[in-house]
Structure 1
Amino acid sequence: MAFAAFPFRAVLIGVVSLGLACSDKPEPKPPPPPVEPWDGTYTPLVEPSDWVDRGAFASCSYTPPTGTNVDCDDPTLFDLSKCDLASLATLDPHGIYQVDMRDTAGQPDAVGLRVPPDGGTGTMSSLYFVGHPLVRQQLQGSFQFSVKVPRRTSFRQMVLAGCGVSGPGTVTGCFAHCNNGKFIASGTFEAARMTWGRGESESSGGLRLVSETHVQTRRPADVFVHRKHAYVVSIDDFDTKAPGGLSVVDVSDPSHPVIKKSITIPGDSYWNAAWAKDDALYIASKATGVIVFDISNPADPVFVRSLPTGAPINVHTLFVDGNRLYAVSPAPAVTGETLIFDISSPLEPVLLNRLVTPDEVSWVPSAHDSFAYQDRLYVNQFSTGYVVFDVKDAQNPRQLGRYTFSVDGREPLSHASAVGTFAGKTIAFEGGEGSGTHLRVLDVTDPANIQLIGRYKLRPQTSIHNVILKDTLLYIAYYHEGLRVLDVSNPTQPREVAYFNTYRESDPGRTDDLLDGAIGIRVPGDGYVYLVDLARGLLILNEP
């Protein structure tokens, strides 16, 4: 997940386990239509970038000339004469919206809005400020919001005015930015309420909730399942200062999980990823790198050490492949790095190398995640793109190729991937993180000539987080869109076959963040899907 641009926020809650009855078998689902076997042929697609310019969203405008001194939050400065303002009366007086913005020059931006159901002060978040209290909030009958964000020597304002309801849960309108009382930019927006999209029900394709367990804080980030225990890691709560940490959940009976232990280390509790091998549990720590626990007793992890030795680093994600552990660090190295460990002795990792991806195309490089497959390492370098290395010899890794794009200055936001073999070709399923990001299917057989061959995208206001490939099914933790399961037997045509909507506005701890909802996922092959939702905790579903 993103580590800087979109900080997470959470509220500490009690540790509760909720078991749901699962004695009834799910109703049989009709078989999907047959899929013709893929023969490996395709027509390469043109890269459209993450954010696709759909043109102006509304027929309104902000009237002052750019650069003039104004009271930015004066509603009369918007020309709404061509709008269907009456349609705004259909809106509920509360809700959470993600807002896709386009300025008059055709450049994108995004904010989140939350108006609580109790009528209290709502919040707005953007790339530049998080959870800032609203100065103006008018919802139902109108759609007007504004924030005033102080800076060190200035203040910034953002103002939105609705023009009309364009569809279920969707509002279009205009916005304006001001800095120190001077109007600097304006444009139009499309705001989507983060209820279940496309008129969907809670689930489809035979997926059903087996149990739900609240863990540690309301910001759990990842899960790994090993020896009938789920190891759920959480990140710190920036608002309440409540720490994250590790929750050990006995899932020997998936319908009645039991929290066996919770661990937090003072000053070291922003734990973003987990992986286990034999008697070792590895935790990605923002403060101290890779933390190693002894889990010879799976319910009672015992701290062993933190790695690497020397200056502490921020490790964000982990991947284990055979006797290799890959730990991806976005900082403090300028471009980030991937640490390669030998874990032949799982409790005694040996550092083999620190792999740095040369920054060739981006002004904000950052190693974020990795996937190892057949002696290659696929590194999500976030705004530098998707980079492929030959790591057969860990002492001498070689960069083989890179997939990236830049359209009108918009950088890629490569975040996570899964790789497999289809029709004799090596295929990567790569997902971005950020407004407008989506799933790309890439032919990486020749890393020097990576081709885009397929795509899957839901609402432009939502973001993917993690992906898991199991045989020909791809499982996606898709934040506000919940769990999505795709049949990728023909990678050029990813086909959704099941979903489970985890996101509910009423869940305690929901925020206006773009990155809220389903975040972590594992499919260990025991017949269940283990899904982490930032507010709801650990959800166990049956495999579809």
Structure 2
Amino acid sequence: MAFAAFPFRAVLIGFVSLGIGCSDKPEPKPPPTPVEPWDGTYTPLAEPSDWVDRGALAACAFTPPAGTLIDCDNPALFDLSKCDTASLATLDPHGVYQVDMRYTSGVSDFAGFRIPEDGSVGSINSGYSLPAPLIRQQLKGSFQLSAKFTTRTTVRQLVLAGCGVTGPGTVTGCFARCTNGKVASSGTFEAARMTWGRGESESSGGLRLLSELHVGMLRPVDVYVHRKHAYVVAVDDFYTEDKGGLAVVDVSDPRHPVIRKKITLPGDSFWNAAWAKDDTLYIGSRASGVIVYDISNPADPVFVRSLPTGAPVNVHTLFVEGNRLYAVSPSPAVAGETLIFDISSPREPVLLNRLVTPDEVSWVPSAHDSFAYEDRLYVNQFSTGYVVFDVKDAQNPRQLGRYTFSVDGREPLSHASAVGTFAGKTIAFEGGEGAGTHLRVLDVTDPANIQLIGRYKLRQQTSIHNIILKDKLLYITYYQEGLRVLDVSVPTQPREVAYFNTYRESDPGRTDDLLDGAIGVRVPGDGSVYVVDITRGLLILNEL
């Protein structure tokens, strides 16, 4: 999950545990499709960026030019004469949509909106701090939306008008943004309803839901599974003031998980990451860095200490390899840092170094996540790319290379990765977070000359979150696209072999936010796949 305070809203639903299925006998799997072994050869690909300019997305226009003083919330200001507005009658009068927006200048933007099925007032989320209630909400027959985002000194308007339906759940049209009663900008959009894409069913490829447990926190984001217990962490809810924290879940019977304990600390409950080693649990905390718990009794964590000592840091993600703990902190360091701990004595971590990318130039707190593999650390620096370090000597790390891009001024949003060896080459599977972001397959054998060799992308309006590589299968939590499982035995051609759609519009608490749906995943090798959905909680599936 990105460091910014993205808007999520939810309502508390009580603890629910569902055992799914009436037989313990797994369904037969279809025979695998033969795949020729990869010999390591490839043709490097050109970097397309996360957003490709497709030109105007609809045959309509907002007629007043920029700078015009006018009330923008007037449907008559849109020229829809070349549109197939009759097709809008096929839409449902409700739904959750994500909107890919293209300004007339060619710059991209995004928004999301939600109109409840009961006809109550919906909301729109467009990067203006908090989501705003819809003033006009009409989907069926004539697609008209508008909202005002008001601060002490500024009133911003966003208005949208539909031009036509171009496919199932897909609407194109025009939009305008206005500030203090003056036209600021306009353009065209493509909106996709966040129902299951491509006409999909709930699942494919033999994935089955074994159980579902709401963990009693509004925004669960990550899970780590250790000694038959799932440690689910959650972050604070910005709207209800509900706190995050830790839920300890006994998963010895994956069909009937049981919450054994819930933990928060006073003034410290924005917990975004979890990892365990031996009898020790590590929590990534926004307020106090790394929190260490004794889990000699896995069901009853006991607080030990917070690290590092001194000024507190915001630790967003964790990664453990061998006797090293890597804790990535987006702040307060200007561009973030990665704290490297020796955990030879797991409950007594020793800080070895605070790694900062030496040529970091972004003003955004960039450090977000890391992956350690064969004495190298792969750091997702968010808006400035994917950076590779030699960390064999933690006291003297060396930057070896970076993969980044800037296409038409659009920077990467590097967010998470997993790394492995294929045909003697070191291959990284890297994913961004933001509208249009997707999976990149990178040859990082020579970090000074990183090559793009493969890609996997779903709808333009959705985003990847976490990535787990297990043997030759890649598990991706893809927010509204649910869990996606790829066969990456031929890295140049990632092949989807299974999915489970966790996102349902009808789930209590679903929002208009881009970052809603499947967010966390672990595949610990115990026969189950553990997925965290922001609204539904902990979902346990069978492992393929």
Q: Deviation at 1:134?
A: 1.0
Verify: 1:434 aligned to 2:434, yes or no.
Answer: yes
Map of 1:286 onto structure 2: 286
Equivalents in 2 of 1:259, 1:365: separation in Å?
35
Equivalents in 2 of 1:391, 1:209: separation in Å?
40
Equivalent residue letter for 1:93: P
Q: Deviation at 1:118?
A: 1.2
Verify: 1:194 aligned to 2:194, yes or no.
Answer: yes
Equivalents in 2 of 1:18, 1:218: separation in Å?
18
Moved more, 44-53 or 139-148: 139-148
Map of 1:228 onto structure 2: 228
Equivalents in 2 of 1:117, 1:129: separation in Å?
25
Q: Deviation at 1:44?
A: 0.3
Map of 1:13 onto structure 2: 13
Equivalent residue letter for 2:141: G
CA contact under 8 A between 1:335 and 1:358: conserved in structure 2? no
RMSD between superposed Cα atoms in Å: 1.1
1:227-268 CA-to-partner distances (Å, cap 9, x unmatched) read 000000011111100001100000000011011011111211
Equivalents in 2 of 1:275, 1:533: separation in Å?
18
Q: Equivalences for 1:34-433 in 2 at 5 Å? A: 34-433=34-433
CA contact under 8 A between 1:5 and 1:127: conserved in structure 2? no
1:139-183 CA-to-partner distances (Å, cap 9, x unmatched) read 211111111111231111111000111100000000001111110
1:482-518 CA-to-partner distances (Å, cap 9, x unmatched) read 0000000000000000000000000011000000000
Q: Deviation at 1:329?
A: 0.3
SS in 2 for 1:135: strand
CA contact under 8 A between 2:8 and 2:511: conserved in structure 1? no
Equivalents in 1 of 2:8, 2:310: separation in Å?
28
CA contact under 8 A between 2:144 and 2:161: conserved in structure 1? yes
| 1:156/1:213 CA distance change after superposition, 3 Å | same
CA contact under 8 A between 1:284 and 1:318: conserved in structure 2? yes
Q: Deviation at 1:22?
A: 5.4
Equivalents in 2 of 1:121, 1:474: separation in Å?
40
- Long gaps (5+) in structure 2: none
Equivalents in 2 of 1:189, 1:21: separation in Å?
42
| 1:74/1:359 CA distance change after superposition, 3 Å | farther
Q: Deviation at 1:360?
A: 4.1
Moved more, 28-37 or 425-434: 28-37
Equivalents in 2 of 1:22, 1:464: separation in Å?
33
Equivalents in 2 of 1:510, 1:267: separation in Å?
27
Equivalents in 1 of 2:466, 2:530: separation in Å?
13
Equivalents in 1 of 2:251, 2:22: separation in Å?
14
1:429-456 CA-to-partner distances (Å, cap 9, x unmatched) read 0000000000000000000000000000
Q: Deviation at 1:70?
A: 1.0
Q: Deviation at 1:349?
A: 0.6
Q: Deviation at 1:365?
A: 4.3
Equivalent residue letter for 1:20: I
| 1:267/1:365 CA distance change after superposition, 3 Å | closer
Equivalents in 2 of 1:5, 1:456: separation in Å?
27
SS in 2 for 1:367: coil
| 1:313/1:11 CA distance change after superposition, 3 Å | farther
CA contact under 8 A between 1:218 and 1:536: conserved in structure 2? no
SS in 2 for 1:260: strand
Q: Percent same amino acid at aligned positions? A: 83
Equivalents in 2 of 1:103, 1:284: separation in Å?
38
- Long gaps (5+) in structure 1: none
CA contact under 8 A between 1:206 and 1:498: conserved in structure 2? yes
Equivalents in 2 of 1:358, 1:106: separation in Å?
33
CA contact under 8 A between 1:51 and 1:108: conserved in structure 2? yes
Per the normalisation by structure 1, the TM-score is 0.98
Equivalents in 1 of 2:431, 2:266: separation in Å?
33
CA contact under 8 A between 1:216 and 1:245: conserved in structure 2? no
| 1:80/1:128 CA distance change after superposition, 3 Å | same
Equivalent residue letter for 1:276: A
Q: How many residues align?
A: 544
Equivalent residue letter for 2:469: L
CA contact under 8 A between 2:195 and 2:504: conserved in structure 1? yes
Equivalents in 1 of 2:400, 2:216: separation in Å?
41
Equivalent residue letter for 1:195: T
Q: Deviation at 1:135?
A: 1.3
CA contact under 8 A between 1:17 and 1:259: conserved in structure 2? no
Equivalents in 2 of 1:21, 1:74: separation in Å?
52
SS in 2 for 1:87: helix
SS in 1 for 2:89: helix
CA contact under 8 A between 2:128 and 2:149: conserved in structure 1? no
Equivalents in 2 of 1:96, 1:108: separation in Å?
20
SS in 2 for 1:134: strand
Map of 2:495 onto structure 1: 495
